[in-house]
Amino acid sequence: MKKAVIIGVGAEQGLGSQLAKRFASEGLHVFIAGRTLSRVQERASEIEQAGGEATAVCADASDEEQVIELFQKAGSDLSLAVYNAGNNFPGQIIDMDAAYFENSWKSCCYGGFLFGREALRCMVPTGEGTLIFTGASASLRGRPNFGAFNSAKAGLRTLAQAMAKEYGPQGIHVGHVVVDGAIAGEKIMNRIPNFAEKLDEGRLINLEGIVDGYVFLYKQSAQAWTFELDLRTSKEKW
C-alpha cells in the first residue's frame, strides 16, 4: 500500500487535516504528524472510521530527531510527503527579538529542509514520489508586520525550487502551493474572528478547493509537472 506523510496537522477544519482525509480516501495510508498527540490521534481515528488507514505521530517539524523518526515509522512505499507546518503571527521588526525571528524561520524554513531531506532520502532510491510544500502570500512578497514570516516563507519557496531542480531528473516531483489569502478554516475563525467577520465569504479561500490543488499536483504525469500553484479567490488582489 502506498503511503503519505503529512506534517502540520491539527484542527479538524484545517488544511493539514483535510489533506490527510482526502489522500486517505484516495487509497494511501496516511501518517499524520503534528505537535499535539491528542489532535493527530483524533484525525487518525476519523480517517479509520471512514474506512481509510492512518497512523498518528507526534512530531515537531523543527526537531531533527523527531522528523527522522517520523519517516522511519512510515518506512517503504512512500508516495507522497506534504510539509504544511508554519506559524504566522504578526510583529513589527523594530520590536522583534531574535528568538521570535528564529522560531519563525525554524517552523517554516528549517523544518521544511529537515522534512524535505528525509522525504527525498526515502523517494530517491525508488525513483518516484511527490513532495509538496505549503506556501503563502508571504512566499512572494513582503508585507508590513510580517517580516519574520515573509523571510521564512520566501526561504522555503526557494528551497523547494532547489529540490525540484535537483531531484526532478531523478523522478521526484516537488511542488509548492501558494495559498494567497485567508483560508476558510478553523484557525482564522477561532484565532482572529474579528478579521474573518470583516471579510465577505468570497474573500476566504475554500478548503476543499485548496485540497483539490494538492491532489492535482500529486496525480500529474512526469511529462507535465507543475512546480507552483497559485491559489486565491476571485476577489483577492495580487
Q: Is residue 223 part of a domain?
A: yes
The parent domain of residue 162 ranges over 3-231
Can you give the pLDDT at residue 204? 83
Can you give the pLDDT at residue 197? 58
Q: Is residue 237 part of a domain?
A: no
**Predicted confidence (pLDDT) per residue in 178-232, tens digit:** 998 777 666 665 665 565 555 666 678 889 999 999 999 999 999 999 999 999 8
Can you give the pLDDT at residue 146? 82
Can you give the pLDDT at residue 142? 80
Q: Is residue 238 part of a domain?
A: no
Give the span between the Cα atoms of 10 and 95, in whole angstroms. Answer: 29
Residues of the chain with confidence (pLDDT) below 70: 184-202
Q: Is residue 107 part of a domain?
A: yes
Q: Is residue 236 part of a domain?
A: no
CATH, residue 147: 3.40.50.720
Can you give the pLDDT at residue 189? 59
Q: Is residue 83 part of a domain?
A: yes
Q: Is residue 21 part of a domain?
A: yes
Domains identified in the chain, total number:
1
Q: Is residue 61 part of a domain?
A: yes
**Predicted confidence (pLDDT) per residue in 82-91, tens digit:** 999 987 778 8
Can you give the pLDDT at residue 202? 65
Can you give the pLDDT at residue 187? 64
